[in-house]
Amino acid sequence: MKIKKEKARERISFLRREIDNHNRRYYVENKPSISDFEYDLLIHELQSLESAFPDFKSETSPTIRVGSDISESPPLKEFRQVPHKYPMLSLSNTYDKPEILSFNERIEKILGSKCDYFCELKIDGTAISLTYSGGRLLRALTRGDGTIGDDVTFNILKIPSIPKEIPQDSVIKDFEIRGEIYMPWDSFDKLNAKREAVGEPLFANPRNAASGSLKLLDSSEVTERGLDALFYHIVTESNNFETHSEYLNWAGKCGFNLSANTKLCHNIDEIFEFLDFWDSGRKRLNYPTDGVVIKVNNISFQSQLGYTSKFPRWATAYKFKAERALTRLISVDYQVGRTGAITPVANLEPVTLSGSVVKRASLHNAEQMKILDIHLGDMVYVEKGGEIIPKIIGVETSSRDYTASAPTFPLICPDCSATLVKEEDEAKYFCPAYDSCPTQIKGGFLHFCSRKAMNILAGEATIDQMYRLGYIHQLSDLYKLTKDNLLFMDGWKERAADRFLESLQKSLSTPFYKVLYALGIRHIGETSAKNLANAFGSIESLQSATKDNLLSVDDIGEIMAESVLEYFSKESNLKVINELKDLGVKFSSDNSDTFVSDKLKGMTIVVSGNFSVSRDEIKRVIEINGGKNSSSVSSATTYLVAGEKMGSSKKEKASKLGTVILSEDEFFHLIR
């Protein structure tokens, strides 16, 4: 059935918000809420819709951007953020062998010949990039958002297996080497046993433990975590070797840990043999894996194939199917999410799955419980999708006790006892008491303080403590906190209090579009908040907007328009906005926020490559000078702004279409 354009726009907006939320939970919070497979389904659906409706493509879409592990709420002693010299991209992935055949066919078609592939296990850890200069370790960066990462050099120095310098007679002295920081299963078990003994929460899996350990503020603690590293890719401007495997052999001789479980494959049959062997063989390893990475081995072929905005075209990842186990359902709890969504969580008899003990699993929503026809005491099949989050995928009804009863989904909120509601187009029940439900209130504060919103130095533990002490109930209360209030809180010292108050003061200069996003209006993400701010200019104009006014704004559909109208219809929301306004928060745009000139009015511009400033900054400059950003070159493109290391495909297409190509200097000269 063909989807209508308006429905497609709403679905695209919904998918982008969902994927951004899951990226934050996976990369920043280390608390993923869906499996890799479910995440990939969302990405594939969004890609299909964006392809079918190119008018709705966006530079900020998660199909173009990679996820980010940069914390939205930096700790009191945050890591320094440093740009990557070369972007750290993601990999395309598949769960099906026919797609590997298609991948090979595309490669051979572009190259006009067959090629060898280097296959290696995909380690389930946290990505790292080490820079060596003159043969000595200069810096270690996390992947971050692919363009900027956290500097974790001091913590990396605590991992014994990582070379601090390489042999002086090495043929390459200046390079980046990329790999995965991981926690072996035995280290993971010891760490969780120690945490359980002192009553600390356990890590869900080694990937979360490795990521969390790498971000410890006290680097001396890293030594005790038992982290290790495996490296798989070298980035250098030297041309000493012709193949990926030769570069890895060189890295091994320099002292870097490499996976022993690799294979140079000369055809598809050899690739499939490797996949089949490790699908079961990985269970014998002392580290977690979730698939196999398949790379074109020849470096010149890699250059010829190039990159998309998010993936290298010369590599892909094959993901193993998730493992499953059979265990008994004991009971069901119901959790309240930040937006009020109620999620059922199953309590299970402990069962070992993918190397860790599983006691809880997601049931998603009431509809899924009905589809499963689940009963208390049932034997259920549990799957760790993508080896991360357990979920119940089926019931073994043949062993059901005939007296067993189905769990009853609650009619009231388990947190505040408000009557739950369910909209027709929603799968989940929601608690409507967003201004009195403790979980939702604290979630609203976390969103307000996040880096992409007001950038206030307050994480989950801080917000929880402030709420328990009665310091905060509505957003404006944050700006009424005193230093004495903060010093009364557990663990707070003078410097921490000063830094928090400084971040509060600094947040008063946050642009209107970010303030609008920070309010947490349901369904309104970063892009839609910016579009609304540009269209209306002030909170007063937005408050008085009609539904037709709202629908005339780019990217705003029926659901979002209704949500905005509902938000401003509530007196409690208007009261908070007025208090925030009186406290100095910006609720109107000025030229520095959204508009400087109309020099680029009517122009569509593509930005590609590396620049002296971030690509986001150049895109912001385009927007405030009246231009429109695009991710791909087409007949509608006015300019291609070309930086260093730009992929050849965009440049070739621009040349064919006669699109004007500007250097960074030429672009800035144009707008001066």
The DSSP code for 27 is I
CA of residue 21 relative to chain centroid, distance? 7
Crossing angle between the packed helical segments 185-197 and 206-214, to the nearest 10 degrees: 80
Catalytic residue, chosen from 31, 122, 359, 650, is 122
Longest distance between any two alpha carbons in the chain, whole Å: 78
What the block records as the tokens of 476 is: 């404006």
Distances (CA, A) of 491 to 79, 271, 442, 486, 496: 20, 54, 20, 10, 9
Contact call for residues 211 and 69 (beta carbons, < 8 A): yes
Q: Provide the Cα torsion 281, 285, 287, 293; round to 10°.
A: -40
HEC string of 587-637 equals CECCHHHHCCCCCCCCCEEEEECECCCCHHHHHHHHHHCCCEEECCCCCCC
Q: Provide the Cα torsion 479, 483, 487, 493; round to 10°.
A: 110
Tell the residue number behind the tokens 């992947």, with chain if given. 143
Q: Kindly report the CA angle at 591 between 613 and 643, in degrees rounded to 5?
A: 20
Given CA atoms 551, 556, 562, 566 in this order, what sign does their dihedral have?
A: negative
What the block records as the tokens of 357 is: 């003990």
Contact call for residues 428 and 342 (beta carbons, < 8 A): yes
**What is residue 324's three-state secondary structure?**
strand
7 in catalytic set: no
CB neighbour list of residue 6: distance below 8 Å, 6 or more residues apart: 557, 558
CB neighbour list of residue 504: distance below 8 Å, 6 or more residues apart: 456, 478, 479, 481
* The one-letter amino acid at 157: L
CB neighbour list of residue 71: distance below 8 Å, 6 or more residues apart: 28, 78, 150, 215, 451
Residues acting as catalytic residues: 122
